[in-house]
Amino acid sequence: MMGIVSALTGRVGPNGFGSASTAEKVTEGIDATNLTVIITGGASGIGLETARVLALRKAHVIIGARNMVSANEARQHILEENHSARVDILKLDLSSVDSVKSFVENFIALDLPLNILINNAGVMFCPFSLSEDGVEMQFATNHLGHFLLTSLLLDKMKQTAKETGIEGRIINLSSIAHNFTYRNGIRFDKINDRKGYTTNRAYGQSKLANILHTNELSRRLQDEGVNITANSVHPGVIMTPLMRHSSYLMMKFLKIITFYFWKNVPQGAATTCYVALHPNMKGVSGKYFVDCNEFKPSSFASNLQLGKKLWDFSNNLTVQSQNLKHIC
């Protein structure tokens, strides 16, 4: 209920920010000069705005993007506004295990620290298809690719946190859509089954997986005593390129009936930027944020055992990537 009231009124939460806050506002006065950030899908939409604002706060931003033409245009856009911005781009297709591995190898070769990882990229409501590794596309792109990316970058983040004494932060972009998933949350035994597939529930499943991944990762990091936090966020309902698979009439109807819930892009990037940079977030881990404030997710998302099961399932999928096409 709080989230609905906040969205309708723009009312601020306990930390002084709310649905009307922008990414620039929530990071005002913060100096991120000593931070290196990777953001996936930073070439458009809220990812681009997140990259722009983090660069504005003097962080060194690495944009991972599938479309390198768009990524270069995004970089030029940021540099035109901010000539001193530090922005680099690397190719990354999250639906491909090989591409994720290549991205990590290319990043490690840059010999940079890594303080913040923002798993922002995604696809939404796309028709049923399988990735090149044989995994349902929304699950592969939104969850599995980020799961693998995070796992492969974790040692670098641990090293950076230890050497610099600066807390590392991992942010997974989820969605309120995590509430609208399949009957049992995750279809472990039918992850690639066309039968019963629906675009919206498959999307909800992938967004639920983002939160479950975050919570289990946070638990493991805390058990290990590592100075890295992991949190998930719902950016809000925003008209971005993610909507490209939705019909024009459907989106027009949706926007009419949900008019007061929609955010603009600067507002949509606010929660991510807040969780990534704000001092209030120091030591906060395993939480879900909406409108820059902590929010209670669904019962599925809070299920510890479901999170552990997803972790093992995801790990097996990535380890056995050469045989994924035979899983159904």
pLDDT in tens, 240-260: 444 444 454 544 544 444 444
> In whole angstroms, what is the distance from residue 71 CA to residue 36 CA?
18
Mean pLDDT confidence for 116-143: 97
Predicted local distance difference test score (pLDDT) of residue 11: 76
The pLDDT mean for the chain works out to 91
Looking up residue 59, the CATH number of its domain turns out to be 3.40.50.720
Instruction: Give me the half-sphere count of Cα atoms (radius 13 Å) on the Cβ side of residue 254.
Output: 11
Identify whether 197 is a catalytic site residue: yes
How far the first Cα of the chain sits from its last, in Å, is 39
Q: How far is CA 97 from CA 22, 47, 209, 323, in A?
A: 34, 21, 18, 12
Mean pLDDT confidence for 116-120: 99
Its pTM stands at 0.91
Mean pLDDT confidence for 169-186: 97
Catalytic: which of 182, 197, 203, 274? 197
Predicted local distance difference test score (pLDDT) of residue 114: 99
pLDDT in tens, 178-234: 999 999 999 999 999 999 999 999 999 999 999 999 999 999 999 999 999 999 999
Domain count, the chain: 1
Please state, as a whole number, how many other Cβ atoms lie within 10 Å of the Cβ of residue 241: 15
Residue-number span of the structural domain to which 136 is assigned: 2-326
Residues 123/244, Cβ–Cβ less than 8 Å: no
CA 86 to centroid of chain Cα atoms: 21
CA angle 196, 258, 24 (to 5 degrees): 105
pLDDT in tens, 279-308: 999 999 999 999 999 999 999 999 999 999
Predicted local distance difference test score (pLDDT) of residue 5: 47
Closest CA to 40 of 94, 78, 2: 94
